[in-house]
Amino acid sequence: MRTVQGLTTDNDPRVGCGPLIPALAETNRPLRQQIFERVRAAGQIARVQVAKDLSVSPATVTTITSELIEAGFIEEIAITRDGDQGRGRPSVALGVRADAHYVVGMKLSDREYTAVLMDFAGNRIADDSIVRKPGQMALTDMLDAAEELLERVCAKAGIAKADLSAIGLGVPGFVDCARGQVLWSPVLIERDAALASAASHRFGIDVQIDNDANLVILAELWFGVGRSLSDFAVVTIEHGVGMGIVLNHRIYRGANGLGMELGHTKVQLDGALCRCGQRGCLEAYIADYALAREATTALNWSHKEGQSMAVLLESLFNHAKAGNSAARSIFRRAGRYLAVGLSTVVNIFDPSLIILSGERMRYDYLYANETMDELASLITTAGRGMPVIETHAWGDLLWAHGAAALALAHVSENFLSPSRAVAAQ
């Protein structure tokens, strides 16, 4: 297993953003959408290469790219190669017109709101965050805080809020992104809250919402190691446990858009109480509140109940590192349950890569060698080996990048394929 730090694009326009989908993998999508996505993914690409990649005629590419240029979606870029100076006209490539649209992506958690503002080419222009008091809040209070953050990040970027084309919001819990509803979330008092329409009305901007774990997989799919992978999984461990799955270069949500709730799969009937209200969920054994609950009992830390979760967990980790057997046993138990959850993912989906992401990845006891050995014993091999497992120790900006990708996908698909529902990318 290896740990990866940071995003891969680093605002380099030649790198591009979005899934790197092989030619002929998705012929059911409108051709102009395929052409635009090819340009966006490449960063800079010649017309002849687009035609070659998509197996269509150069004349067809010229016609469609002319339409996209006229619409302001892409533009011609003069490229000077080494040795070309003073030798006639420079070569011309196509690229996304960065200033055509601007979007904001936000992650709304129970401890911090994080935002990133991007241009249409996927370059980060500005980012910001605000700390909030832990616990649930009313929808109106959530929107107040989100609006404050939105105004701050726009001010940093020097871009008026009215110039934004879309906003992506991510929250933990059960999210119906198609309807824009949050059925349940640990950060919201209300159930079945119409977050997308309420936020759109408040901000005066089109808002798309999704489960926050899906934001991580969108970030990996658009800006990370998942760009060239057809199938991979992300498991997030923070205040809860989430999962996202990519199948054939597209995020999979299930028939009702509510699938991939790994944290709420049952690992023990009538087991520990989960914050969703049910018992025996995987989350109730490996999320931060589960570790804190174990520490309070096993280490007799009832006097620390007034401490913040972050301070308590850091103390638990330090005790484990120092050799405290009770602290180590807490992480060991959580690691075994994590192995059970990961084995379920492997046995059902057989992904080529599993990415472990989130703040809890700092606690390496969760994915120690013992946990990986346990995982190996739980998967059905049948001639296959262990999937590649990586830990990505990124901060909250990762989630905000995924929310921005959600907004970018919405903007481009609204124009390129208005008759289709927005396909998650």
- Report whether 327 contacts 316 (CB < 8 A): yes
Same structural domain, 112 and 70? no
pLDDT at 208: 97
What is d(CA 266, CA 363) in angstroms, rounded to the nearest whole number?
A: 23
Is residue 81 in some structural domain? yes
Is residue 133 in some structural domain? yes
The CA-CA-CA angle for residues 326, 327, 332, to 5°, reads 95
Is residue 224 in some structural domain? no
Same structural domain, 263 and 197? no
Same structural domain, 188 and 117? yes
pLDDT at 134: 79
Burial of 368 (0-12, 13-18, 19+ CB in 10 A): middle
Count how many domains the chain has.
3
Domain boundary among 66, 99, 132: 99
Same structural domain, 289 and 410? no
Radius of gyration over every alpha carbon of the chain, rounded to an integer in angstroms: 23
pLDDT at 133: 80
SS3 state at 395? coil
Q: pLDDT tens for residues 85-134?
A: 555 566 899 999 999 999 999 999 888 899 999 999 999 999 999 998 87
CA atoms within 13 A on the CB side of 417: 17
Mean pLDDT of all residues in the chain? 87
- Report whether 391 contacts 3 (CB < 8 A): yes
Between 52-61, 158-167, 414-423, the lowest mean confidence (pLDDT) is in 414-423
Q: For 178-182, which contacts have Cβ atoms below 8 Å and span 24 or more sequence positions?
A: 178/257, 178/421, 180/207, 180/208, 180/209, 182/209
DSSP state of 107: E
Q: Is residue 10 predicted with pLDDT exceeding 80?
A: no
Same structural domain, 335 and 349? yes
Same structural domain, 305 and 367? yes
Domain boundary among 81, 99, 117: 99
Helices and strands counted in the chain (H then E) = 12, 15
Q: How confident is the model at residue 297 (pLDDT cuts 50, 70, 90)?
A: confident
CATH of the domain at 71: 1.10.10.10
Q: pLDDT tens for residues 46-97?
A: 999 999 999 999 999 999 999 999 999 999 998 766 555 555 566 899 999 9
Q: Which two tokens stand for residue 53?
A: 């990649």
- Report whether 211 contacts 245 (CB < 8 A): no
Between 73-77, 89-93, 261-265, 415-419, the lowest mean confidence (pLDDT) is in 415-419
Q: Is residue 353 predicted with pLDDT exceeding 80?
A: yes
Nearest to 43 by CA among 70, 66, 67, 20: 20
Same structural domain, 62 and 120? no
201 or 186, greater pLDDT: 201
Q: pLDDT tens for residues 357-410?
A: 877 676 676 667 888 899 999 998 766 678 899 888 666 688 999 999 999 999
CATH of the domain at 347: 3.30.420.40
Backbone angles phi, psi at 263, to 5 degrees: -65, -20
Query: What string of DSSP letters covers 239-271?
Result: SSEEEEEEETTEEE--TTS----GGGSBSSTT-
Same structural domain, 307 and 411? no
Is residue 424 in some structural domain? no
Neighbours of 124 (CB within 10 A): 20
What is d(CA 196, CA 414) in angstroms, rounded to the nearest whole number?
A: 17
- Report whether 248 contacts 230 (CB < 8 A): yes
Q: Which residues contact 65 (CB under 8 A, 6 or more apart)?
A: 35, 39, 47, 50, 74, 94
Same structural domain, 26 and 43? yes
Is residue 379 in some structural domain? yes
pLDDT at 425: 46
What is d(CA 118, CA 98) in angstroms, rounded to the nearest whole number?
A: 9
Per residue in 93-115, is it b (16+ CB within 10 Å) or e — as a string? bbbbbbebbbbbbbbbbbbebbb
Same structural domain, 254 and 386? yes
CA–CA distances in Å: residue 112 to residues 23, 203, 207, 262: 40, 20, 20, 23
Same structural domain, 250 and 388? yes
Domain boundary among 99, 130, 147: 99
SS3 state at 109? coil
Pinpoint the alpha helices (H) of 121-233.
139-157, 195-203, 212-223
pLDDT at 1: 62
What is d(CA 263, CA 242) in angstroms, rounded to the nearest whole number?
A: 6
Is residue 225 in some structural domain? no
- Report whether 415 contacts 73 (CB < 8 A): yes
Same structural domain, 145 and 241? no
Helix 31-42 and helix 397-416: axis angle, to 10°? 150
Mean pLDDT across 273-288: 92
Q: Is residue 9 predicted with pLDDT exceeding 50?
A: no
Is residue 356 in some structural domain? yes
Q: How confident is the model at residue 273 (pLDDT cuts 50, 70, 90)?
A: very high
Domain that holds residue 335: 230-392
